Structure 1
Amino acid sequence: MKVAGVSYRSVWREADRVAIIDQTRLPFEFHTLRLSGCNEIAHAIRSMQVRGAPLIGATAAYGIALAMSDDASDANLQLAAELLRHTRPTAVNLRWAIERMTRRMQRIAPLARADAAWMEAEKIADEDIACNLSIGQYGLAVLRSIADKKGNVNVLTHCNAGWLATVDVGTALAPLYLAHDAGIPVHVWVDETRPRNQGLLTAWELSQHGVPNTLIADNAGGHLMQHGQVDLVIVGADRVTAAGDVCNKIGTYLKALAAKDCAVPFYAAVPSPTIDWNVHDALREIPIEERGAAELLTVQAMDAGKLIIHAQIAPDGTRAANPAFDVTPARLVTAIITDRGIAPASRQGLLDLYRKKVASA
């Protein structure tokens, strides 16, 4: 995607280093960083300088490449994998990318690992973009069908599932970009998504692309649905189970409940690596990341002097709980938009889609 007319990915290789966009400084400042070691990659993931399930998976793959460039031994491979695996527990793409990189490295001699690791990391990044473009095409058909009936499309989205959450293009936002580029009049209601306000990232990148959007408070979505101002909800996901349950940013479940009550279609848009075929009971089996209280008790803002500040918004001593994700049961999900097609949110629906694709490959 483009920022001020310049094309960027959210993570990319620069010689023997890895470059990222520091998302903790957005939307106020656009700043890139160069990372030179696996420890720096782990910090970037943990601190959410990079975030979004597909992006942290790709970034972790680059972290393995940096580790292999430094020391390609079996011992260092395992150390790097463990370091990265423990950065954030909920997104399945992280584990998937680390396991894929580890398997690839274990099949070749240490002397060949550095070059092979860079190649595999680049392949993972390129595949992510291809997946997202495919998701965009399938989702575009959904948006076009609505536009054909009523002329315009009002979409509500939660958190950030655009190009900043992936290597490029995005998952939930990919259909919106394609629809806008195709001349479909699409408008996006953007949840602010407390406590880290990732909705600001969504509003920023939509505006960069020229897509009309309106930022709303998290609790406004249900009201808009009740008054017919939302045609559909599209979210991303950090993990989708084999049964079609969707684990996504905290607050997603409440949006799905409101959508169900108001007969508004609710979609999750995910690349294939986000589907965890080994999880069957989302509430029991998916580890929900609990982040620090400071995220809830402070806000990041820009003061009158254009300086980024962190302001306390709660009295000293206030206790806070900060679960980062929740689970939306499959019964509340209209369908799951994947890079392989659109499937009903059910075990059979996902199996039928993936079996059909495998059989026709």
Structure 2
Amino acid sequence: MTEAIDYARYDRIRPIRWNGESLELLDQRKLPFVEEYMRCAGSDAVAMAIRELVVRGAPAIGIAAAWGVVLAARTVEAADGAAAAAVLEPALQRLNAARPTAVNLAWALARMRAALLIAGDDWRAVLEREAQAIETEDLAANRRMGELGAALIAPGSGVLTHCNTGSLATAGFGTALGVIRAGVAQGRIGKVFADETRPWMQGSRLTVWELQQDGIDATLIADSAASHLLKNGEVEWVVVGADRICANGDVANKIGTYQLAISARFHGKKVMVVAPSSTVDMATPSGDAIEIEERDPGELLGVNGGRTVAEGVRAWNPVFDVTPAALIDAIVTEKGVVERPDAEAMRALFGG
């Protein structure tokens, strides 16, 4: 019998807080040494927080944007939802433009728009209920994915994770880190490794800090040590999240995921992608059609504000890469697991 998960022990962090008047976002730029929430009183402040990585992680971005729509509604006078929708559309577009690759952002905004269009004179309350539902459903989905993903892992296995996919990137518990939390709780995961994830260091700043809060021992490695780790036999699974999953099973995720999948396949290890069904984009046929966000090259030229690279050197800073479905062993969503993903298997679970 599978051991029940003590969520009170393994699910302590909440990066998004709605207080009824404003949105409070845990400023992930300042972690792990400063735990400080940024107060957002309007939708443009939420868009800025998404763009500047105050809040990050595809599900968390979508949740924050939904609350941003609620804030935008505070400044609008309209008789019903359809009338309000026309006035609110520019604010929705500004939120949508904040991070183009994460499909959850557009998904959450589309859901808020759809709820608004059929709302009556209580449209503000409808928007608030919809935003709360998006957040609540994400937490439930993460817990479900944790159990489904952990069930694929043999007891005592070692895992390697990339970037941050935990409570900080979601409503709580996490996607890939949710699988790791569930796997540790059930005794299926014996060792956890996390790589630094340059240049924003989400692994070293966020992931190992998160796991530490829950009493889960994790070992940090340099990004460039991953292949050596996979070779030495301490890891059976690479477990990662996703920012977009295509109709053929290709996956866009934090830059560096692709090379981990290549190395895992070479060394006979497995790759698990964990993401809610809101990350699945059946309208995008393959990874070739994904817009890959590029950030300021200056992020590569220094550390903590101090320049480490000679003047005049150019840098290229793509934020995501695309891992082909052929390198993925399992895609785990709250709707179920797609093993050895391809277009047919994706359609079977998610439809056309």
Report the counterpart of residue 174 of structure 2 in structure 1.
Answer: 170
Task: Report the Cα distance in structure 2 between the residues aligned to 1:163 and 1:280, rounded to whole angstroms.
Answer: 30
Give the Å deviation of 1:174. Answer: 0.6
Computed over aligned residues only, the root mean square deviation of the Cα atoms, in angstroms, reads 2.0
Give the Å deviation of 1:294. Answer: 1.8
Give the Å deviation of 1:169. Answer: 0.6
Task: Map residues 106-117 of structure 1 onto 2, 5 A cutoff.
Answer: 106-109=117-120, 111-117=121-127
Task: Map residues 162-241 of structure 1 onto 2, 5 A cutoff.
Answer: 162-200=166-204, 201-241=206-246
Q: Contact conserved, 1:186 with 1:212, CA < 8 A, in 2?
A: no
Task: Map residues 174-323 of structure 1 onto 2, 5 A cutoff.
Answer: 174-200=178-204, 201-283=206-288, 285-300=289-304, 310-323=305-318
Give the Å deviation of 1:229. Answer: 1.7
Shift of the 158–279 alpha-carbon distance from structure 1 to 2, 3 Å rule, reads same
Shift of the 138–272 alpha-carbon distance from structure 1 to 2, 3 Å rule, reads same
Within the alignment, does 1:353 sit opposite 2:349 as a pair? yes
Shift of the 273–203 alpha-carbon distance from structure 1 to 2, 3 Å rule, reads same
Shift of the 260–4 alpha-carbon distance from structure 1 to 2, 3 Å rule, reads closer
Among all aligned residue pairs of Structure 1 and Structure 2, give the percentage whose two residues are the same amino acid: 41
Report the counterpart of residue 305 of structure 1 in structure 2.
Answer: none
TM-score, normalised with respect to structure 2 = 0.92
Within the alignment, does 1:343 sit opposite 2:343 as a pair? no
Q: Contact conserved, 1:135 with 1:339, CA < 8 A, in 2?
A: yes
Give the Å deviation of 1:281. Answer: 2.4
Report the counterpart of residue 80 of structure 1 in structure 2.
Answer: 91
Report the counterpart of residue 81 of structure 2 in structure 1.
Answer: none
Secondary structure of the structure 2 residue equivalent to 1:24: coil
Task: Report the Cα distance in structure 1 between the residues aligned to 2:14 and 2:118, rounded to whole angstroms.
Answer: 29
Within the alignment, does 1:91 sit opposite 2:102 as a pair? yes
Q: Contact conserved, 1:2 with 1:208, CA < 8 A, in 2?
A: no
Give the Å deviation of 1:19. Answer: 1.1
Shift of the 5–128 alpha-carbon distance from structure 1 to 2, 3 Å rule, reads closer
Q: Contact conserved, 2:12 with 2:214, CA < 8 A, in 1?
A: no
Structure 1's unaligned 5+ residue stretches are 301-309
**One-letter code aligned to 2:91:** A
Task: Map residues 8-23 of structure 1 onto 2, 5 A cutoff.
Answer: 8-23=13-28
Shift of the 212–7 alpha-carbon distance from structure 1 to 2, 3 Å rule, reads closer
Shift of the 281–7 alpha-carbon distance from structure 1 to 2, 3 Å rule, reads closer
TM-score, normalised with respect to structure 1 = 0.90
Q: Contact conserved, 2:58 with 2:169, CA < 8 A, in 1?
A: yes
Shift of the 183–5 alpha-carbon distance from structure 1 to 2, 3 Å rule, reads closer
Within the alignment, does 1:154 sit opposite 2:158 as a pair? yes
Structure 1 residues 344-353 or 90-99, which shifts more? 344-353
Task: Report the Cα distance in structure 2 between the residues aligned to 1:22 and 1:4, rounded to whole angstroms.
Answer: 23
Structure 2's unaligned 5+ residue stretches are 1-5, 78-83
Give the Å deviation of 1:159. Answer: 0.6
List per-residue Cα deviations over 1:210-250 (Å, max 9, x = no partner). Answer: 11111111111111111112111010000000100010000
